[in-house]
Amino acid sequence: MLKRKGVLLVLVLLLTTMILASCGENQSAQKDPNEEKIFVLVPKLVSHPYFKLSAEGMEQAAQDLNVDARFVGPQKADAAKQVSTIENLIVQGVDGISISPVDANAIKPVIKQAMDKGIKVITFDADAPGSGRTAYIGTGNKAAGKKAGEAMAKKLNGKGKVAIMTGQLGAENLNQRIAGFKEAFKGTDIEVVKVEANNDDMSLALSQAEALLQAYDLDGIFASSASGAPAAAQALKSKDLVGDVVIIGFDDMPQTLNYIREGVVYATIAQRPDLMGYKSVELLLKLTEGGEIDEFIDTGVAVVTKENIDTYKE
């Protein structure tokens, strides 16, 4: 009987030791609340000059707020690769992710997956409505597209044929801009003859612009993303059509601004990608600290023409 009690006592002690060891492992696996926060911006593609401005804003916020902020994403706009990138971040256990979705529908399941793991998720530049993300930081895209359409309608005196060059057909922000652009033509004689995507690839955008000019007798081209206006401008110059076709673009890339100064591009809608990057980090930090934020944070736009090109940032 004594021997049996002794054996039972040893087993109890061993079991207790194992439970305590297991608890210790679980505690060590939990993130130290005092550890530096890790936030990640996932753009549509990391190589584009537009998103590099978002990265600069992110880096400034990381420095100001003393957090670890990283810029990670596909080299080209690829929805599947963007989803894979976010899945890897979930495994790493980052604190927050801000995403510019390549495809709003494709990104929804992985956003839910991240939020189910306790990771804070917002979108910037492009939204994913219905995904459960906490907030969207960026441009009011339909209103901005309408501004572009109104500028085009005024320049064309309310009549003509227009083509639209866009980045990705599944991008919510670009589709909203196109919808707003078209809405501005109600009551006019302006016809949108074609909408084509170029995946924000500059070489593809150039061949696209050349093909559109060849296929249609165009009076205007609207580029809903940053790659389109410089490509359309190059195509106009090569075909000696400067002054015959009105180009209105999006974003104030250096190339686009130079073409406005030359009179090749009529106007562009300038966004604030740097502010989107900065606010992404700022608001993710606020969410991880238990704070509340607005669902839509509008970073604003400006219509840039030759007349205000040197003053629109003031």
pLDDT digits (tens, 9 = 90+) for 43-68: 999 989 899 999 999 999 999 999 99
Please report whether residue 133 resides in a domain. yes
**Total count of domains within the chain:** 2
The share of the chain scoring above pLDDT 70, in percent, equals 89
Q: What is the pLDDT of residue 34?
A: 55
Q: Look at residue 180 in the predicted model and tell me its pLDDT.
A: 98
Residue 23 lies in a domain: no
Question: Which CATH number fits the domain that encloses residue 288?
Answer: 3.40.50.2300
Q: What is the pTM of this model?
A: 0.77
Cα–Cα distance between 202 and 226 in angstroms, integer?
9
Q: What is the pLDDT of residue 7?
A: 43
Taking only the tens place, the pLDDT of each residue in 207-243 is 999 999 999 999 999 999 999 999 999 999 999 999 9
Same-domain pairing of 134 and 279: yes
pLDDT (0 to 100) of residue 33: 52
pLDDT beneath 70: ranges in the chain = 1-34
> In this structure, is residue 225 part of a structural domain?
yes
* pLDDT given for residue 3 in this prediction: 46
Are residue 262 and residue 280 in the same domain, yes or no?
no
- Domain, as residue range, for 131: 38-139+273-300
Domain annotation covers residue 193: yes
Residues 146 and 240 in one domain: yes
Based on the fold, state whether residues 64 and 89 are members of the same structural domain. yes
